[in-house]
Amino acid sequence: MLKRISAPITTQMAALMAALFLCGFRPFFLFAAASAVLAIGAWGGFLLGAWLLPEMAGGPLVWHAHEMVLGFALAAVVGFVVTAVPEFTGSAGVASARVKWMAVAWLAARVGALAGGVAGTALAAVATLALLMVLVTAVAPALWHGAERRHVSFLWGLLGLLLSTAGFYVEALGGGDPMRWLHAAIGILMVLIVIALSRISMRIVNGALELAGETGREYLARPPRRNLAVFAITLYTALEFFLPLHPVAGWVALAAAAALFNLLNDWFVGRVLFGRWVFMLQGVYWLMAAGYALIGWAILGGGLPPGAGRHLLTIGALGLAVFVVMNIAGRVHAGLEPDPRPWVPIAAAMLVVAAVARVFIYLPGGGTALFGAVLLWVLPFGLVVIRFWPLYSRPRADGRGGCEGIGD
Amino acid sequence: MTRLWPGRALAYLWSGWGAIASLLLFMAAWEWASGFHGELVLPDPRSALATLGGLLGSGAAGPELAITARRALLGFVFAVAVGSTLGLAAGLSMTASMMSRPIITVLLGTPPVAWLVLALLWFGSGDGTPVFTVFVACVPVIFAGAMQGARTLDGQLRDMASVFRLPPAMRLFDLYLPHVVSYLFPAWISALGISWKVVVMAELLSTSDGVGAALAVSRSHLDTAATLAWIVAVVGLLLAVEYLLLEPVKRMVERWRLTQ
């Protein structure tokens, strides 16, 4: 009797797991969106005094940053890397078994963070570092042996992330203040975003130009400008780590902002700039530039603390980049065109307003803006979970397998 | 690819972000270097900028900058007029250009400070000395550019113009000028940079007003922050004139090359 009921349930579970692990981005984009909602919900509740957060070296602020950087952002990075690297390098996809191991590790790290204390942090440390090592070993050969090593910068980014994660846990378990390692991780994430968007934007912007019939124009994400931006961001990240709040770091942050504005020179391609995907991708650079400008200004004696600019980087640039990539790659590789419905630009606008609201909390009487920011962050990613769950929990409608795109 | 001028202007201005990024990195290096020495040796960029802000705000900087700009521009304009005319004239004749080449070399090789000493003897400590020094430092550069422009005129194009009996005005504006200007303009821009640097030096040693004189005063007071503030003002003005005025004009006059 029991067997007869449980049999269909296990087959259902097996079908669900098969659909969910069809391609690496499917579980990890869901993880990212869900953790964006839950971790910020937890943070908002804590700020309202509804509950306490699990214990972690450095206090609740470190817990919040840990969950956003090594929970939310790391899930998005894993989802993107396991899908994009095989596509960019033309190599075989990451084996489903590895993706499953990484998913288990990511969930274990969340359990560790939720448990808190030394044991919980140790669990999160082992799980997160294992995840990153599996990820690096999975994509390193393709990145290293790819044609002209054109995409090897992703490998340096991932190794940087691995290093800053290890440093974070060593310091957290050793009783020090581990926050500076997470700040370094944010800088590395910004570099990864600049590198990833240069690849994505070439397709999206040129696709938009083609669609608009503007055959005379071509968009090129030129390496010299990108390299200058990557150099400035990396230099700032290193200075922030070794000489926090030093005026030299302030000037370099301003230089990073200018270098990011300089990147937008590639984007003078006419009216297609205002098309939804092109506009949103471009918005990531604007927010990143504004974030570094605000940080530089803060260090050199401006009014707002550096946290204001940093949240333009995280809520704004990172949040928007993750959201847009989910909506492009997360659909194309599931066999669907990017979503044409109005919720996408509305949700993206919410993220931008959330980032700006987070800056406003430092202004007199701006305290309530924090809860606006929480709400405007939770809603878009909540919508992602609702929209993407039906898509990822079932086999692809076009009958294709794995990570294949629409045109593949 | 045609674009309306506001779009082109915006694109041009926006392309300045790369330069701004490099300059900000330079500021970081300056800030870093200032950390090793005291405020007296090398103040950090923020105090130099604050001092400059104070000088501008109090109205002390404006008149000095105006005096210096007047002298530099006066010398530059004379040099443009004389250097361009003589250079073009020399370029039209092989003999004249052969004759003038060694003289140019001598003029280019003479350090401006040598001229300055002579100018002090001839003109005393008024406007004459810095204006003359600027003039004499700029003339050989412009002369050489103009001569080169005239010498490299395409003879075949000139022959074609005579065969088709082009009216003189058309010959001048459509044939000779576009070519010559593409040599003259870079020479003028280098000369402007020279004029701006030479005038400050000349003022420092010869006059009682202008940026150079202000630099001499701040040096005697051991006021390094004010010294750097004046330097920032001079360099900033030069960059602004070059990139907001001369470079766009240069692009405009050289557009015919791109469309070829």
Which residues of chain B neighbour A258 with C-beta distances below 8 Å?
Answer: 17-18, 20-21, 24
A248, A262, A300 ranked by CB distance to B17: nearest: A262
Query: Over 90: is that where the pLDDT of A258 sits?
Result: yes
Between residues B162 and A53, which one has the greater pLDDT? A53
Which residues of chain A neighbour B25 with C-beta distances below 8 Å?
Answer: 232, 235, 251-252, 255
Distance CA A326, CA A118 (A): 34
Residues for chain B: how many in total?
260
Judged by CB atoms closer than 8 Å, whether chains meet at A255 and B45 is answered as no
Torsion of CA A349, A352, A353, A355, to 10 degrees: 160
Task: Indicate if A250 and A168 belong to the same structural domain.
Answer: no
Structure confidence at residue A33 as a pLDDT band (50, 70, 90): very high
Judged by average pLDDT, the poorest of A196-210, A276-290, A327-341 is A196-210
A247 to chain B, closest Cα gap in Å? 7
Structure confidence at residue A266 as a pLDDT band (50, 70, 90): confident
Which chain A residue has the Cα nearest residue B30? A248
Residue A318, chain B, CB below 8 Å: the answer is no
* Spatial contact of A163 and A194, defined as CB atoms under 8 Å apart: no
Residue B206 covered by a domain: yes
Judged by CB atoms closer than 8 Å, whether chains meet at B18 and A252 is answered as no
pLDDT score of B1 = 45
Task: Indicate if A150 and A37 belong to the same structural domain.
Answer: yes
Left (φ > 0), alpha (ψ -120 to 50) or beta: where does A147 sit?
beta
pLDDT score of A54 = 94
The average confidence (pLDDT) of chain B is 86
Distance CA B23, CA B27 (A): 6
Burial (0-12, 13-18, 19+ Cβ within 10 Å), B133: buried
Task: Indicate if A29 and A101 belong to the same structural domain.
Answer: yes
Distance CA B136, CA B198 (A): 10
Query: In this structure, what CATH number is given to the domain that contains residue B100?
Result: 1.10.3720.10
Residue A406 covered by a domain: no
The predicted complex's ipTM stands at 0.89
Domain of residue B236, residue span: 61-255
Structure confidence at residue B3 as a pLDDT band (50, 70, 90): low
Number of domains present in the structure of chain A: 2
Tokens found for residue A22: 């069809």
Closest CA to A269 of B153, B3, B107, B250: B3
Q: Is the pTM of this model over 0.90?
A: no
Residue B237 covered by a domain: yes
Residues 6+ apart with CB under 8 A from A174: none
Q: What would the DSSP string read from start to end of A163-187?
A: HHHHHHHHHHHTTS-THHHHHHHHH
Tokens found for residue A151: 């995409």
B21, B32, B45 ranked by CB distance to A258: nearest: B21
Percent of all residues in chain A with a pLDDT value above 90, rounded to a whole number: 68
Distance CA B157, CA B163 (A): 10
Task: Indicate if A228 and A170 belong to the same structural domain.
Answer: no
Q: Is A27 helix (H, G, I), strand (E, B) or coil?
A: helix
* Spatial contact of B201 and B112, defined as CB atoms under 8 Å apart: yes
Task: Indicate if A308 and A236 belong to the same structural domain.
Answer: yes
Closest CA to A201 of A184, A214, A218: A218
Residue where one domain finishes, among candidates A149, A177, A205:
A177
Query: Over 50: is that where the pLDDT of A90 sits?
Result: yes
Residue A290, chain B, CB below 8 Å: the answer is no
Query: Over 50: is that where the pLDDT of A263 sits?
Result: yes
* Spatial contact of A72 and A82, defined as CB atoms under 8 Å apart: no
Q: What would the DSSP string read from start to end of A189-230?
A: HHHHHHHHHHHHHHHHHHHHHHHTT-TT------HHHHHHHH
Residue B49 covered by a domain: no
Residue A243 is given by DSSP the state S
Judged by average pLDDT, the poorest of A22-26, A27-31, A201-205 is A201-205
Residue B119 covered by a domain: yes
Judged by CB atoms closer than 8 Å, whether chains meet at B44 and A247 is answered as yes
Give the residue from A234, A235, A237, A252 with the most B CB atoms within 10 Å of its CB, the best one to mutate. Answer: A252
Tokens found for residue A137: 């070993």
Give the residue from A222, A237, A248, A265 with the most B CB atoms within 10 Å of its CB, the best one to mutate. Answer: A248
Task: Indicate if A221 and A173 belong to the same structural domain.
Answer: no
Number of Cβ within a 10 Å radius of residue A155: 20
Query: Over 80: is that where the pLDDT of B174 sits?
Result: no
pLDDT score of A6 = 60
Number of domains present in the structure of chain B: 1
Judged by CB atoms closer than 8 Å, whether chains meet at B18 and A265 is answered as yes
Residue B6 covered by a domain: no
Which residues of chain A neighbour B47 with C-beta distances below 8 Å?
Answer: none
Residues of chain B in Cβ contact (below 8 Å) with chain A: 1, 7, 10-11, 14-15, 17-18, 20-22, 24-25, 27-28, 31-32, 35, 44-46
Task: Indicate if A158 and A296 belong to the same structural domain.
Answer: no
pLDDT digit string, tens, across residues A178-191? 999 999 999 999 99
Between residues A226 and B174, which one has the greater pLDDT? A226
Query: Over 80: is that where the pLDDT of A215 sits?
Result: no
Question: Number of A:B CB contacts under 8 A?
Answer: 61
pLDDT score of A408 = 55
Closest CA to A193 of A138, A154, A141: A154
Residue where one domain finishes, among candidates A154, A177, A200:
A177
Residue B40 covered by a domain: no
Residues for chain A: how many in total?
408
Distance CA A56, CA A179 (A): 11
Number of Cβ within a 10 Å radius of residue B150: 23
Residue A382 covered by a domain: yes
Residue A403 covered by a domain: no
Task: Indicate if A152 and A241 belong to the same structural domain.
Answer: no
Which residues of chain A neighbour B11 with C-beta distances below 8 Å?
Answer: 265, 268
Which residues of chain B neighbour A219 with C-beta distances below 8 Å?
Answer: none
Judged by average pLDDT, the poorest of A91-95, A119-123, A385-389, B156-160 is B156-160
Judged by average pLDDT, the poorest of A73-87, A96-110, B149-163 is B149-163
pLDDT digit string, tens, across residues B102-144? 988 898 888 888 999 999 999 988 889 999 999 999 999 999 9
- Distance from the Cα of residue A134 to its chain's centroid: 18
Residue A254, chain B, CB below 8 Å: the answer is yes
Please, what is the Cα angle at B211 between B205 and B214, to 5 degrees?
75
Which residues of chain A neighbour B31 with C-beta distances below 8 Å?
Answer: 247-248, 251
Domain of residue A277, residue span: 217-394
Residue A313 covered by a domain: yes
Average of per-residue pLDDT across A360-367: 83
Task: Indicate if A231 and A88 belong to the same structural domain.
Answer: no
Average of per-residue pLDDT across A326-352: 93
pLDDT score of B260 = 46
Please, what is the Cα angle at A394 between A388 and A400, to 5 degrees?
105
